[in-house]
Amino acid sequence: MWFNTLGPTRGGALVLDCVGIDFIRPARVNLSRWRLQYRATFMRFHFGPIPSSPDFVPDASWRSLREPTPWLAQLIAFPIGVFVTALVVFLWIIVTPFPEAPTMSISGILLAFVGITVVHELIHAMVHPHMGRSPKSILGCWPSRLVFYAHFDGELTRNRFVAILLMPLLIISIVPLLIAAVAQVTSVWAAFVSSFNALMACVDILGAGIVLFQIPASATLRNQGWKTYWRI
């Protein structure tokens, strides 16, 4: 089911629209215009599997990327994430003046988890064409596979695809670490956010590796749901 700020738009009642359409005629005009504008310029949100693209039927010119299923990807990516996270934690301790005994509350950690997830997915989307400000950019959550995603429903160059995958790792995990190392300042929270985001980026790192290993730089990629296709 699709959602925007006006509520369900497919297979459900347009609750907020009804107010404008039935009772407040001028408001209806403004609301409709705003809604069209909203749909034309902003990303969409989706709850469930990565949505399929009905307009994309890969013909013989497209090759299928050899990639794991969502669960297998999580399984393979987890040890990679643990290794990268340990490396980031180690670097925070070694290259910044890290305090001896950091203290953090459970509620703070949970709040940070939500914040990191949202910012992480928004950074993916910011590398999409139009910086994510188009209906082709879809932010989503797939609870049964423990997956959050920023999906682009269109063609992408290979290098942009890899940049989309790795940008949250660079911006949230690596840049703060570099700044702290150069300025010789530190923060337990910055170190936590940086390290935890590295763990969250494990499937992104695996995906970037798979794409770089199988697909030449001159290729174009497109997703059909979870599946990735490419062609020269």
Complex with Zn ion: residue 153 or 204, whichever CB lies closer: 204
What is the nearest approach in angstroms of Zn ion to the Cβ of residue 14? 32
Complex with Zn ion: residue 24 or 146, whichever CB lies closer: 146
Q: How far apart are CA 139 and CA 81, in angstroms?
A: 22
Complex with Zn ion: residue 91 or 127, whichever CB lies closer: 127
Complex with Zn ion: residue 20 or 81, whichever CB lies closer: 81
Count of residues that bind Zn ion according to CB under 5 A: 1
What is the nearest approach in angstroms of Zn ion to the Cβ of residue 148? 7
Q: Which of residues 192-231 bind Zn ion (CB under 5 A)?
A: 204
Residue 153 touches Zn ion, criterion: CB under 5 A = no
What is the nearest approach in angstroms of Zn ion to the Cβ of residue 30? 37
Complex with Zn ion: residue 77 or 177, whichever CB lies closer: 77
Task: Determine whether 63 is exposed, middle or buried from the number of CB atoms within 10 Å of its CB (0-12, 13-18, 19+).
Answer: middle
Complex with Zn ion: residue 139 or 215, whichever CB lies closer: 139
Task: Say which residue the tokens 């609750």 belong to.
Answer: 15
The residue number with the shortest CB distance to Zn ion is 204
- What is the spatial order of strands in the sheet that 227-231 belongs to? 63-64, 227-231, 220-224, 156-157
Length of the chain: 232
Both structure tokens of 115? 């914040």
What is the nearest approach in angstroms of Zn ion to the Cβ of residue 153? 17
Listed in order, strand segments (DSSP E) in 18-134 are: 44-47, 63-64
Task: Determine whether 171 is exposed, middle or buried from the number of CB atoms within 10 Å of its CB (0-12, 13-18, 19+).
Answer: middle
Which one-letter amino acid corresponds to residue 137? Answer: S
What is the nearest approach in angstroms of Zn ion to the Cβ of residue 133? 19
Yes or no: say if 72 and 206 are a contact pair by the CB < 8 Å rule.
Answer: no
What is the nearest approach in angstroms of Zn ion to the Cβ of residue 201? 5
Write out the residues near Zn ion by the rule CB under 5 A. Answer: 204
